[in-house]
Amino acid sequence: MRFAVIVFPGSNCDRDMYHAVKDVLGEEADLVWYQNSNLENYDGILLPGGFSYGDYLRTGAVAATSDVMNQVKKHARNGKPILGVCNGFQILTEAGLLPGALMQNKKLSFMCHQEELVVENNETIFTRGFEKGEVVRFPIAHGEGNYYCNSETLSELQTNDQIVFTYRNNPNGSVENIAGIINKHGNVLGMMPHPERAVEALLGSNDGLKLFQSLVKNWRESYYVTNA
């Protein structure tokens, strides 16, 4: 499987994402500068964390208007798997690929530590390697990770089982403890915690490896069925 790790001005978790899929998982990966809008030859698209464009206006708002996001939207419509982590999640909401918005943390301070998450939906292409209700440990590193949506959107997320991860100890004030959600078609996942920083025990947790392994396994199974 070949991944594109999109790099915006201000991205700072792109190397972490690249290391997770290239060095740890052993898959193909390229760091793709945001001005390169050709993503045709990639099987999956990864939007890393950081501070794209210095988080001016709103976090992710400027990056969401870049040319490469037109390609990301196209591939999202065509079913290609897309993962946005931290700032990547913010970009996905600003681009309209996921509902809701990320606001400033409830305590108005930057947070950087390990958090326990609950796997609420293990029937997605990203989470089939987990057990439903499994508790995992991923680090967070954000100042605007407070997920918000209105009651109508929340009801829709719950009805469609689009809430994939929740916090056990909500650190930022997110509505209903939401840490990660998926789109209705099940191919676009956005989450504030960093699975790419939890792929080796040396880092304090290797729980994030299951997410990437699940994605690759699902892609390979789909690929061989399609090309059989």
Q: Three-state DSSP class for 110?
A: coil
Question: Is 159 a residue whose pLDDT tops 70?
Answer: yes
User: Which of the residues are catalytic?
Assistant: 86, 194, 196
For 156, residues 6+ apart whose C-beta sits below 8 A from its C-beta are 99, 162
- Summarize the confidence of residues 65-87 as an average pLDDT: 96
Band the pLDDT of 223: cuts 50, 70, 90: low
The total domain count for the chain is 1
What's residue 58's pLDDT?
A: 84
Q: Whose structure tokens read 């400033």?
A: 104
Buried b (16+ CB within 10 A) or exposed e, 75-88: bbeeebbbbbbbbb
Q: Whose structure tokens read 């419509």?
A: 77
State the Cα angle at 7 between 107 and 177, rounded to 5°.
Answer: 30
Q: Three-state DSSP class for 168?
A: coil
What's residue 115's pLDDT?
A: 97
Range of the domain at 6: 2-226
Band the pLDDT of 228: cuts 50, 70, 90: low
Q: Three-state DSSP class for 141?
A: strand
**Whole-prediction pTM:** 0.95
What's residue 166's pLDDT?
A: 98
Pair 68, 36: CB distance under 8 Å: yes
Band the pLDDT of 226: cuts 50, 70, 90: low
Band the pLDDT of 55: cuts 50, 70, 90: confident
Pair 209, 24: CB distance under 8 Å: yes
* Sign of CA pseudo-dihedral 110, 210, 52, 163: negative
Please report, for the chain, how many H helices and E strands are present, in that order: 5, 11
State the Cα angle at 56 between 30 and 150, rounded to 5°.
Answer: 95
- Single-letter residue type at 23: D
What's residue 6's pLDDT?
A: 97
Phi, psi of 183 (to 5 degrees): -75, 170
Pair 138, 114: CB distance under 8 Å: yes
CA distance 113 to 128: 26
CA distance 1 to 49: 21
What's residue 37's pLDDT?
A: 76
Q: What is the CATH number of the domain that holds 112?
A: 3.40.50.880
Question: Is 227 a residue whose pLDDT tops 70?
Answer: no
Pair 26, 52: CB distance under 8 Å: no
- Summarize the confidence of residues 135-157 as an average pLDDT: 97
Question: Is 224 a residue whose pLDDT tops 80?
Answer: no
Q: Identify the weakest region by mean pLDDT among 47-61, 105-119, 142-156, 177-191.
A: 47-61
Band the pLDDT of 14: cuts 50, 70, 90: very high
- Summarize the confidence of residues 142-166 as an average pLDDT: 97
